[in-house]
Amino acid sequence: MTSTNIDICGICRDELVDDIKTLTCNHVFHTACIDSWTARVPSCPFCRAHLPEAVIDPVGDFITEMQLNGFTYDEISSAVESGVVPADSMERVIRELNIPSHFVVRLIEDRFLNVCHAEALYHNGYIAEDDMSDMFARGVIIDRRVSALISAMSVFL
């Protein structure tokens, strides 16, 4: 079982709907099932990978839940705003959920992602060139040098 083919917990054999945990090896189980298992055996029931003390991958859990139940803009932006998904983990979320460019642009426009994130996402192919050009033209994002100059000038104002 991998994060791309998830529907049944490998321990209890019930459907994975909510309250799930993704291990560092990317296998997914019900939280109660895997907590009970790892209390006795510190390895994954499937691949036997040794699990560090913290077997929780909150970003992986979030991605898995979104894959199972679908996702909306509000759920993604709320997860970033609340810290469930740190902004520096958004590229992983965007990649694994295959979030479209226009959706990523909206996260930037609403300031859930900053200029540095936008540039990295563009260079890694997650923002279409037309969308990036449009954001520059509308002033949604500006060149980092201009941003640094504005910040420096604000000290004197």
Q: pLDDT: is 111 or 152 the higher one?
A: 111
Q: Which long-range contacts (CB under 8 A, 24 or more apart) does 34-38 make?
A: 36/11, 37/11
Instruction: Reply yes or no on whether the pLDDT at 156 is more than 60.
Output: no
Between β-strands 28-30 and 20-22, what pairing exists: parallel, antiparallel or unpaired? antiparallel
Radius of gyration of the chain (CA): 19
Q: How confident is the model at residue 1 (pLDDT cuts 50, 70, 90)?
A: very low
Q: Most confidently modeled of 10-14, 36-40, 51-55, 131-135?
A: 10-14
pLDDT at 87: 78
Cα–chain-centroid distance for residue 83? 11
The residue behind tokens 């099932």 is 33
Please write the tens of the pLDDT for every residue from 90-147. Answer: 888 888 888 998 888 888 888 888 777 887 888 888 888 888 888 878 877 766 555 5
> Across residues 29-35, what is the average pLDDT?
84
> Most distant CA pair in the chain: distance in Å?
64
Q: pLDDT: is 58 or 55 the higher one?
A: 58
pLDDT at 149: 57
Regarding pTM above 0.75, the answer is no
- List the one residue out of 31, 38, 25, 41 whose CA is nearest residue 9: 31
Report all structural domains of the chain as residue ranges with CATH numbers, in order of start: 1-70 (3.30.40.10), 84-157 (no CATH)
